[in-house]
Amino acid sequence: MLSYRVRLKQLSGSRFPLHSDTLWGQLCWLYRDGYGESSLAEMLSDCRCGNIPFCFSDGFPAGYLPIPAGGAFSELPVHSGDKKAEIERMNQIKAIKRLQYLSVEQFERVINGERIDLAAQGAPPDIEFSTQTHNSIDRITNTVTDSSLYQETLQYAGEMDLYVYVRDDFEDILFICLEQLFSHGFGGGASRGLGAFECSKPEEIPFFQPASPNCYITLSRCTPAKDMPLASRYKTTVKFGKHGQERSKQDQPYKKAAVQFEPGAVFWGTPPPDGICGTLIEGISYHYPDTVQCGYSIAVSARIDLL
């Protein structure tokens, strides 16, 4: 597998964050449109056999990576006995609990077994939000309905980093499709110009590889496979996915709910040799038996003691 980092500059507001599974699904549709249904079926067959052609991370603020969900990697403020100092210590702990990201430099220190001072860790710029007001359209008369104004919330994340692991024989195809996807728009509202990004030239980076790793950290939305370690720390979320392309316009556009681990989950055990963990979720649709959901994640080898 080859590993790359792509710097993205947001050109228009988006309705949804840049999640790895949504990006994977949209790219599969583009691949089908460009190379045919049989090519997509062959690619999914490779995934089921463990020969995964590519995997994305979530989109992270430029220069940052997700903070690990657990493990002994931080130095916390100590109790001093002084009331004023204790209040300051509690405020620092509250700020630490709100942290979502580490700078790349701090992340590399953590995966190499060092302990860092989280109280001194800076945070990336906040995501900006705005609202747009729209009219609802009556689908029968195709006219604006009375008293039908609604507001749509859009987010602006500025510059973001996307990490990509790709099989060498799939590299050229992947980046052609990826550039098409981001120039057209990502997520809901793409037909109206939302979710457009400018892609920098992919920068090849080495695998994060510490000496004597004892665990690995996910950089993507992950659905764990049966063979993944039980010793783990993670935060969960529930994904209510939606079909893409022509299937999104049918009577049942939604998929079944799926439980996912958020980026930053830590699993203590032998890291996967190709840098990818997780599974392909089958049976996720009520009406389309061939529908799948991406549960793969980039897995970064690390050296972190288990608390």
Q: For residue 77, what pLDDT band results from cuts at 50, 70 and 90?
A: low
CA-to-CA dists, residue 33 to 38, 101, 177, 275, 290, angstroms: 11, 36, 10, 28, 17
Query: Is 121 a residue whose pLDDT tops 90?
Result: no
DSSP type of residue 162: E
Query: Is 211 a residue whose pLDDT tops 90?
Result: no
CA-to-CA dists, residue 13 to 17, 18, 56, 196, 197, angstroms: 10, 12, 21, 8, 10
pLDDT in tens, 178-206: 988 888 877 776 666 777 888 888 999 88
pLDDT in tens, 244-269: 877 777 777 888 999 999 999 999 99
The predicted structure's pLDDT at residue 75:
75
Q: How many distinct helices (H) and strands (E) make up the chain?
A: 5, 17
Which residue did the predictor score with more confidence, 155 or 98? 98
The predicted structure's pLDDT at residue 184:
81
The predicted structure's pLDDT at residue 13:
76
Q: Indicate the SS3 state at residue 108.
A: helix
- Per DSSP bridges, beta strands 254-261 and 215-218 are unpaired
DSSP type of residue 258: E
> What is the Cα–Cα distance from 45 to 54, expressed in whole angstroms?
13
Which residue did the predictor score with more confidence, 156 or 42? 42
Query: Is 120 a residue whose pLDDT tops 80?
Result: no
Neighbours of 101 (CB within 10 A): 20
